[in-house]
Amino acid sequence: MSDTATVRPLRAAEVTEWDLTADVVIAGYGIAGACAAIEAARAGADVLVLERTGGWGGAAALSGGYVYLGGGTGLQRALGFEDSPENMEKFLLAALGPGVDTAKIHDYCEGSVEHFDWLVEQGVPFKQEFWGEPGWEPPHDEGLMYSGGENAAPFNTIASPAPRGHLPQMQNKRTGLKGGGFMLMKPLSEVVESLGVRAEYDVRLQRLVVGDDDRVVGVAARRYGKPVLIRARRGVVLATGSFAYNEQMIENYAPRLIGRPGAAIEEHDGIGIRVAQALGADVAHMDATEVAFFGDPQLLARGILVNGRGQRYIAEDTYGGRIGQATLIQQENQAYLIIDEQSLEQGQGTETATPFFRQPPKWAAETVAELESDMGLPAGALQATVEVYNRHAADSADPLFGKKPQWVRPLGTPLAGFDLRGFTAGFTLGGLRTDLDSRVLHVSGEPIAGLYAAGRCTSGICAGGYVSGASLGDGSFYGRRAGIAAAANTAAAAPLMDSAAAPLIDSADQ
Amino acid sequence: MSDTATVRPLRAAEVTEWDLTADVVIAGYGIAGACAAIEAARAGADVLVLERTGGWGGAAALSGGYVYLGGGTGLQRALGFEDSPENMEKFLLAALGPGVDTAKIHDYCEGSVEHFDWLVEQGVPFKQEFWGEPGWEPPHDEGLMYSGGENAAPFNTIASPAPRGHLPQMQNKRTGLKGGGFMLMKPLSEVVESLGVRAEYDVRLQRLVVGDDDRVVGVAARRYGKPVLIRARRGVVLATGSFAYNEQMIENYAPRLIGRPGAAIEEHDGIGIRVAQALGADVAHMDATEVAFFGDPQLLARGILVNGRGQRYIAEDTYGGRIGQATLIQQENQAYLIIDEQSLEQGQGTETATPFFRQPPKWAAETVAELESDMGLPAGALQATVEVYNRHAADSADPLFGKKPQWVRPLGTPLAGFDLRGFTAGFTLGGLRTDLDSRVLHVSGEPIAGLYAAGRCTSGICAGGYVSGASLGDGSFYGRRAGIAAAANTAAAAPLMDSAAAPLIDSADQ
């Protein structure tokens, strides 16, 4: 069966024999799948996790490991940061919109402190140390960091800044073998195992199996090319990740990412979204994308970032993901960093400079006019930009974008120019529309019986914006909800091929 | 039944009696529905059009009437404009992307000349007169105009500029009673009637009716609150328009339009999209939107348009819809027009100034510095912008954006500032994914048997960009295709409640 095999549901009536059976069947053993498995097992369900690769982890294990949490978590408090669910909500509504699922954001903020405690209880280590410098990730094993521009304009005037990027304590940071994502997934997978959850590897989800009443009762999968039919007595949880590597879906839904997918693993082919859409599931914000920007935050904050016309377009000291989105979506992926020699040396001299972003400047010049000319920018354009910047920088002010005074200093000479055109890549944030219990919603607005989803195959707390940690955050948070809700769906454990089951289509509403 | 009634398909087995029957049933009597009806009837099908309002017309009849056509139409040739399908395709690929359906654009360009001839044959009048001034619409009854920035940067360097906005000859332009859209729909509706097509009004589509094999065999509708069941022997054509007025869908898919819907009629509630999604239909580019900008093109071309930071961001002489998209999506809906007194008088003095855009400037000042200060812009920001603009304008050049020399002149004094913040509104361009025969595609990639769609309930030739006339253009073009394909679907006219029909799910592909 090829990858283009049908994703249409298989009718249970066509199934003569199930290969495997469980109460709750979870497709995908990343962050959402692991958390769903733990909660479903704790609720007394017999749980089976299907994973298409050879082991647990998913994109989560290879990621940086940020979990976006706040509202006054134990870690925030221990490090002296004040936060509240209301303050967190105010920030997320501003940063992740427009069009966010406001109920989900409220719910997520309200539950965030408990969720942090839960992660700690599962054994996820968070070191009580804060890292406050601009950076891609903290340089060592620090546990808390700003990860969404909370302390940068315009958000620092909308909500009280609090760092919410919670990072599992890394080991062997230098080799990357035990990064934050691994240190998140490792203890979770151990808990999963300790709870007696079964896991089957090299099993690829192909289709959902539905009863006569359109209730989801299992999945059809492939293992080494052979069909495997798995019955789910109570429910199926989709936790299969984004569609960043499905070219057709990228073209249809999020074409700005054509040619620049940035998810951690290529297994993110959107299969979970497609099998549910085939049942009439609704989707949301399919165009939304995380966009990473591969410029060193230590240099960005100290210089000015200009577009293809030499104009500034963002506060350079904000979250890199916001710079990425602004560059790709609003500036045609054109970006140059202009920085003077003194700041360049300062920025590259800190131990916080991000090593893999090290590159030499493309241009060096004695004056702005010379640099402008060397870069091929229209005469006067960059000079005008620097003039306006320097005029206010003399007073440590940035009235155009509100960069924080600590980073604002008139640009001197000589100067360097970095060519950051095309320095973006991203993954998709859109997916299945789910409710607060992670039930997959039909386009009619009703939940699809027996079907749950969490993680990046769903549209979570993000609409257009992003903060680092939102994906592991809502994936783990709503993964747990999916596990709880699926395990509680005991009414579904009725005889399977009962064609007399009440039809879901209520003819009375005609 | 409320508007939130289920959109899940109704099983034909539950239908005891059909109220109406036809070979081809078309939902929606706008441009796509009318063209589908004509072609289906000409192909020998018995055709029934269902319209939820009290008469034919849809959004089309109330629109400006632009039909985007080219490649060397009779009208283009008569007015001395050279064009070719290849040239048109080059432009559309650049203007409507990224992520366009390249097969559809190629197909549309190849068929454009024939489609123009067809419209003329149906009696749509096009006056052989060209209007070459910047404008919202031509001031009189001219038949041809630039309507997508073809002759502006950057497109005038990508393809050879040719006007392709074909306008049905208006009558009583001043009162608007017989605008271009009306003059397009009137003859088409007359042809529909002359072909013996039946039309039923005040009938609202609610659900699709499907056979045991998931083939679409009819529709369930409501008329004055009572259910109406309509059987379609060969096929159902969805032609129900956009989802601009469905708040939930706007929030999920195109949140930048929250609070600023701009479709011609409020009936555009996305029902056609939802009933098909409930069958597993795929959608595409649901975030894409047309965005109108309510600034007078005659003034825009003569002045400079700046964002909330006093920076220019687009060639001011381009298509208004591009200005609208750039303003809403890339500039947070912040726009100001800066123009000197001389140009203001010139622009407002022409007969081409758009009367309903007339407004007094908000600010008037003797110098740029004074204007900048009055507008509350950061000191030096607007001055730097004008300085750079004027530096090159002295040579009639605009190296930043490529505005055409004829509109480039240094800004003098005194000056005026127009506050154009929030001057945008739009309609949605995303919708059902269809093939070149207007068959609705399932997420599996296969067509859904018996289901066709055209017009703004489909994702047509546009992905992210827009040109005026694309909607009536692809709506009429693929409306015809839908009618032809549905009428030809005679294999479907099998007995209806035949539960022994071969299941669409081929168990062999397990």
Residues A191-213 have a mean pLDDT of: 97
Burial class of residue A226, CB neighbours in 10 A (0-12, 13-18, 19+): exposed
Contact A197, A43 (CB under 8 A): no
Task: Give the A window 188-227 contacts with B, CB below 8 Å.
Answer: 220, 227
- Distances in Å between the Cα of A426 and the Cα atoms of A243, A287, B276, B459 are 11, 12, 30, 24
- Among A240, A226, A236, A231, smallest CA distance to A274 is for A240
Contact B33, B244 (CB under 8 A): no
What is the reported pLDDT for A493?
56
Q: Which residue of B has its CA nearest to A460?
A: B252
Pairing of strands B47-51, B20-27: parallel
Give the confidence band of A219 by pLDDT, cuts at 50, 70, 90: very high
What is the reported pLDDT for B510?
32
| pLDDT above 90 coverage of chain A, percent | 86
Q: Quick check: A385 and B384 CB within 8 A?
A: yes
Q: Name which of B306, B307, B444, B506 to mutate to probe chain A: the one with the most chain A Cβ atoms within 10 A of its Cβ.
A: B444
Residues B218-233 have a mean pLDDT of: 97
CB < 8 Å to A392, chain B: 378-380
- Among B348, B354, B509, smallest CA distance to B423 is for B354
- Gap from B204 CA to chain A (nearest CA, Å): 13
Please give the ipTM for the structure prediction. 0.93
Q: Name which of A3, A93, A252 to mutate to probe chain B: the one with the most chain B Cβ atoms within 10 A of its Cβ.
A: A252
Which amino acid is it at B333?
Answer: N
Task: Give the A window 13-52 contacts with B, CB below 8 Å.
Answer: 14
Q: How far apart are CA A307 and CA A320, in angstroms?
A: 16
Q: Quick check: B8 and A280 CB within 8 A?
A: yes
Task: Give the B window 97-116 contacts with A, CB below 8 Å.
Answer: 97-99
Q: How far apart are CA A25 and CA A230, in angstroms?
A: 8
Task: Give the B window 233-272 contacts with A, CB below 8 Å.
Answer: 248, 250-256, 258
State yes or no: pLDDT of A373 exceeds 90.
yes
Within 8 A by CB and 6+ apart from B286, the residues are A253, A286, A287, B252, B253, B254, B428, B430, B431, B459
- Distances in Å between the Cα of A431 and the Cα atoms of A242, A249, B169 are 8, 11, 45
What is the reported pLDDT for A505?
34
Query: Mean pLDDT, chain A, as a whole number?
Result: 93
- Among A153, A407, A409, smallest CA distance to A298 is for A407
- CATH superfamily to which B10-62+195-289+427-504 belongs: FAD/NAD(P)-binding domain (3.50.50.60)
CB < 8 Å to B401, chain A: 309
Q: How far apart are CA A392 and CA A410, in angstroms?
A: 8
Higher pLDDT, A42 or A502: A42
State yes or no: pLDDT of B509 exceeds 50.
no
Strands (E), A399-457: 415-419, 424-428, 431-432, 439-441, 447-453
SS (H, E, C) A185-204: HHHHHHHHHHCCCEEEECEE
What is the reported pLDDT for A171?
83
Q: Quick check: B220 and A510 CB within 8 A?
A: yes
Contact B231, B448 (CB under 8 A): no
A279 interfacial to chain B (CB closer than 8 Å): yes
What is the reported pLDDT for A92?
98
- Residues forming CATH 3.50.50.60 domain(s) in chain B: 10-62+195-289+427-504
The model's pLDDT over A460-500, given as tens digits with 9 standing for 90+, comes to: 999 999 999 999 999 999 999 999 999 999 976 554 443 33
Contact A151, A127 (CB under 8 A): no
CB < 8 Å to A251, chain B: 99
Which amino acid is it at B136?
Answer: W
The model's pLDDT over A57-108, given as tens digits with 9 standing for 90+, comes to: 999 999 999 999 999 999 999 999 999 999 999 999 999 999 999 999 999 9
Q: How far apart are CA A427 and CA A242, in angstroms?
A: 7
Query: Mean pLDDT, chain B, as a whole number?
Result: 93
Count of beta carbons in the 10 Å neighbourhood of residue A154 = 13
Residue recorded with tokens 């032609």: B239
Across A159-173, B321-335, B427-441, least confident range:
A159-173
Partner-chain residue, chosen from B10, B99, B444, that has the shortest CB–CB distance to A278: B444
State yes or no: pLDDT of B496 exceeds 50.
no
What is the reported pLDDT for A470?
98
Q: Which CATH class is domain A295-422?
A: alpha beta
Residues B383-390 have a mean pLDDT of: 98
- Gap from B334 CA to chain A (nearest CA, Å): 14
What is the reported pLDDT for B357?
75
| pLDDT above 90 coverage of chain B, percent | 86
Partner-chain residue, chosen from B254, B400, B509, that has the shortest CB–CB distance to A5: B509
- Residues forming CATH 3.90.700.10 domain(s) in chain A: 295-422
Task: Give the B window 331-350 contacts with A, CB below 8 Å.
Answer: 331
Q: How far apart are CA B381 and CA B395, in angstroms?
A: 23
State yes or no: pLDDT of A413 exceeds 90.
yes
CB < 8 Å to A280, chain B: 8, 277-280
Residues B241-247 have a mean pLDDT of: 95
List of long-range contacts for A157-161, beta carbons under 8 Å, 24+ apart: A157/A402, A158/A90, A158/A91, A158/A94, A159/A87, A159/A88, A159/A90, A159/A91, A159/A94, A160/A82, A160/A83, A160/A87
To the nearest 5 percent, what fractions of chain B are helix, strand and coil?
A: 35, 20, 45
Q: Which CATH class is domain A10-60+180-289+426-497?
A: alpha beta
The CATH fold of domain B299-422: Flavocytochrome C3; Chain A, domain 1 (3.90.700)
State yes or no: pLDDT of A287 exceeds 90.
yes
- Gap from A237 CA to chain B (nearest CA, Å): 19
The model's pLDDT over A312-357, given as tens digits with 9 standing for 90+, comes to: 999 999 999 999 999 999 999 999 999 999 999 999 887 766 676 7
Q: How far apart are CA B329 and CA A483, in angstroms?
A: 38
Q: How far apart are CA B151 and CA B292, in angstroms?
A: 19
A130 interfacial to chain B (CB closer than 8 Å): no
What is the reported pLDDT for A5?
67
Question: How distant is the alpha carbon of residue A86 from its chain centre?
Answer: 22
State yes or no: pLDDT of B342 exceeds 60.
yes
Give the helix/strand (H/E) hosting B36: helix B31-42
Across A73-87, B1-15, B59-73, B139-153, least confident range:
B1-15
Bridge partners, A84 (sequence order)? none
State yes or no: pLDDT of B177 exceeds 90.
no
State yes or no: pLDDT of B500 exceeds 60.
no
State yes or no: pLDDT of B10 exceeds 60.
yes
The model's pLDDT over A3-16, given as tens digits with 9 standing for 90+, comes to: 446 899 999 999 99
